Chains A and B, each alone.
Chain A
Amino acid sequence: MEKEIAGQHRGYFSLADIMYFAKKGCEAVAEDEVTQRFTSEELLSWNLLSRTNANFHRVSWQLTAVWVIGILIRYCLLVPFRIFLAFFSILLLVSATTVVGQFPNGRWVNYSHGCCYRENRPQKGGICVANHTSPLDVLILASDGCYSLVGQVHGGLLGLIQKSCMQTSQHVLFERSEMKDRHLVRKREHIADKAKLPILIFPEGTCINNTSVMMFKKGSFEVGGIIHPVAIKYDPRFGDAFWNSTKYSMMTYSFNVLTSWAIVCNVWYLPPMVKEEEEDAVHFANRVKAVIAARGGMSVLPWDGGLKRKKVKESFKEEQQKKYCQLVTENGFMGNGNVY
């Protein structure tokens, strides 16, 4: 704003100032940084899945032929096998957790913890934070360690899986629209108890399309304790892992995942971080966010992932107005009595 408006005439208003806002507004209409994060990433080169081919151009018959073969392989060969496997595993999960949940203390669950050592794995009593793209993030991390989860309660198939998991470990499930401080208190209790599993939290609060990391909610960074950042990056060439929950149900999403080539994922466990003495939670959250984004090769956005569902706060508009004011009044401050 400074460069465009102040230019030659800092200190007074010009009729041309309106042009700056008009241009910014229309730029946002043509393309904006935020709403594109809530839909699947646009790929530079096609990965032979028709769902990622938004602007269809017929390139050549050979490519079409390859695509048809791809469809046959994915739908006729891979899918039936994967569906059978998925069905069988869910059945096993539900029955096993029902059985294990009957035992007191649930200490049995901890024995399944693998013995392989990987540097920087989250320890008991710590908080693990990661960027969020889909529920698969949980599966991937859980296959490599046991966590207590914090997340939005769902219905349907995912709800069933959540309920089964609740039988054997302590998880915190809540309704996004009613999140309040009592969850903060519960988290604090949880990590204070060193015998409990590390908590897995996704501070963005919702699924983002894996091209950037959006605002980390400060809640998890206020409780104290050690933060173990984890960066998760999916390879878009093989399949699109992003779950657009406003558009697809869990079943549709699962089907999309099963009919992709594969889900290839890179997970980086990063060195633990602690909030410094003078630092506030927001600053700490941004620090962790920057580290995760840098490792995963994603950009950083200050915008709130909650904008997927909510409108933006009025206070941001007020900030813009204030900024403009400072540019068109002398000395940059109000109330000095000058009439221009």
Chain B
Amino acid sequence: MGGKKPTGVETKEGITDMLFFFSSVSHSQITRLYSRFTSLDKGENGTLSREDFQRIPELAINPLGDRIINAFFPEGEDQVNFRGFMRTLAHFRPIEDNEKSKDQNGPEPLNSRSNKLHFAFRLYDLDKDDKISRDELLQVLRMMVGVNISDEQLGSIADRTIQEADQDGDCAISFAEFVKVLEKVDVEQKMSIRFLH
């Protein structure tokens, strides 16, 4: 066990591959984020662990910090490589006008409105059954409010939210219902970060 684990972008082919696959991000952004990735990687083994993320104070105090960190890690894994790191952050690139007229037959970019909504949906849907159940909603609510609201009050908030969103009567929120509830929300603005200055 020696040397760095390959992150997939050491070669020019690696970078091109990235650009094609994640057409949401530009070359200079990739370089900048790579340098951020290496500075977070204290173990210097080409991957990040959950501890590496928790070292970021502003993320550690975020009520949903743990869920967000989980979003970076592939199913059942404890390490994320640079590709995975990029993939998650790519959801937050702002949607630019010129991208709207891009090739309709190509893969949908990760920062499309639909993919951004999917990202938010997955933060709720812990068991990945494509439905947000009452329990899952309660869990997230509890993380966001801490100890400041009683179980009863929180229960009512959850019930009311599901009632308003649920259209097929299964007492859970499917992705389609989620999208419908948020159709008036400016998702592009709420889920975009300017990462290059």
Contacts and interface: CB of A to CB of B under 8 A. Distances in A.
Interface of A: 4, 12-35, 39, 54-55, 303, 307, 311-312, 316-322, 324-325, 328-329, 334, 339-340
A197 B171 CA distance: 73
Interface size class of B (residues with CB under 8 A): 35 or more
Top 9 A-B residue pairs of the complex, sorted by shortest distance between their CB atoms: A321-B146, A25-B68, A28-B58, A316-B61, A325-B148, A21-B64, A19-B190, A28-B59, A312-B57
A322 to B, nearest CB: 6
Contacts of B69: 25
Contacts of A14: 185
B56 A29 contact: yes
Contacts of A319: 61
Contact of B63 (A13, A19, A54, A324): A324
14 contacts: A13-B157, A16-B190, A27-B58, A28-B56, A29-B59, A30-B89, A32-B56, A35-B55, A312-B57, A312-B61, A321-B144, A322-B146, A324-B145, A339-B153
Contact of A22 (B40, B53, B68, B156): B68
Contact of A26 (B35, B60, B92, B124): B92
Secondary structure type dominating chain A contacts: helix
B165 interface: yes
Contacts of A15: 124, 161, 165, 173, 178, 181-182
B119 A27 contact: no
Interface in B160-174: 160-161, 165, 173
Contacts of B64: 18, 21-22, 25
A26 B64 CA distance: 11
A321 B61 CA distance: 9
Contacts of B156: 339-340
Interface of B: 31, 33, 35-36, 39-40, 53-65, 68-69, 71-72, 88-89, 91-92, 119-120, 123-124, 140-141, 144-150, 152-153, 156-157, 160-161, 165, 173, 178, 181-182, 185, 187, 190-193, 195
B148 A322 contact: yes
Contacts of A322: 146, 148
B59 A32 contact: yes
B63 A16 contact: no
A35 B63 contact: no
Contact of B185 (A12, A16, A334): A16
Given A15-B165, A23-B192, 13 more contacts: A16-B190, A25-B69, A26-B193, A30-B89, A30-B195, A31-B195, A32-B59, A54-B35, A303-B57, A312-B57, A321-B148, A322-B148, A339-B156
Given A28-B56, A324-B144, A13 B161 contact: yes
B160 A22 contact: no
B85 to A, nearest CB: 8
Nearest to B88: A26
B66 to A, nearest CB: 10
Most buried by B among A12, A18, A21, A339: A18
A10 B91 CA distance: 27
Given A317-B61, A321-B63, A321-B148, A34 B56 contact: yes
Contacts of B120: 16, 18-19, 22
Contacts of A312: 57, 60-61
Contacts of B56: 28-29, 32, 34-35
Contacts of A325: 145-146, 148-149
Contacts of B149: 325, 329, 334
Contacts of A339: 152-153, 156
Given A19-B187, A22-B64, A307-B57, A35 B145 contact: no
